[in-house]
Amino acid sequence: MIRVQEGDFNIGEEIEALRKGSSGKVRTDIGAIVTFTGTVRDALREGAGEISAMTLEHYPGMTEKELARIEEEARSRWPLQASLIVHRVGTLLPGDNIVLVVTASAHREAAFEAARFLMDYLKTSAPFWKRETGPQGEHWVEAKDTDDQAAARWREE
């Protein structure tokens, strides 16, 4: 399941909903749940000061379609019982949640690897654009080489 939204999300409620699925009963086929939550830092990536806000933009429709495609790729690579990507857009402040990735599998290795794969993709290739605002003004955030290197390992498999 994927969601792109302006509003915040409750991590605990999202995990509990995933554990229960559509039946409302706790799923007993899930033995491992891995979560990653990304939040807005108060420091610029380049160490050039603090940020007062981060604005995330996306292309509605295209973004959801691309996130669904990459989630399906994760499901084809690992035996996942469930997965969730929630990504916020709009203007966020330091400390705000940005993204939640949850993967659930019978075993931990698949859940960990799938979560890492999804986050590496989100950091480098997902159709989101980030703009940081701070004392020096505004600037667009570029992907870091280390993020690209992390994502490259998935293309080699």
In this prediction, residues 82-104 reach a mean pLDDT of 97
Predicted local confidence at residue 105, as pLDDT: 97
Inter-residue contact 21 to 102 (CB < 8 Å):
no
Determine the pLDDT at residue 137: 87
Average pLDDT over every residue of 10-28 = 92
Enumerate the domain spans of the chain: 2-18+29-153
In the predicted model, what is the mean pLDDT of the chain? Answer: 89
pTM of the model: 0.89
Task: Name the token pair of 111.
Answer: 């859940």
Domain 2-18+29-153 belongs to what topology?
Aldehyde Oxidoreductase; domain 3 (3.90.1170)
The answer to whether the CB of 33 falls within 8 A of the CB of 19 is yes
Instruction: Give tens-digit pLDDT for 54-84.
Output: 999 999 999 999 999 999 999 999 999 999 9
- Could you write out the DSSP letters of every residue in 90-109? EEE-TT-EEEEEEEEESSHH
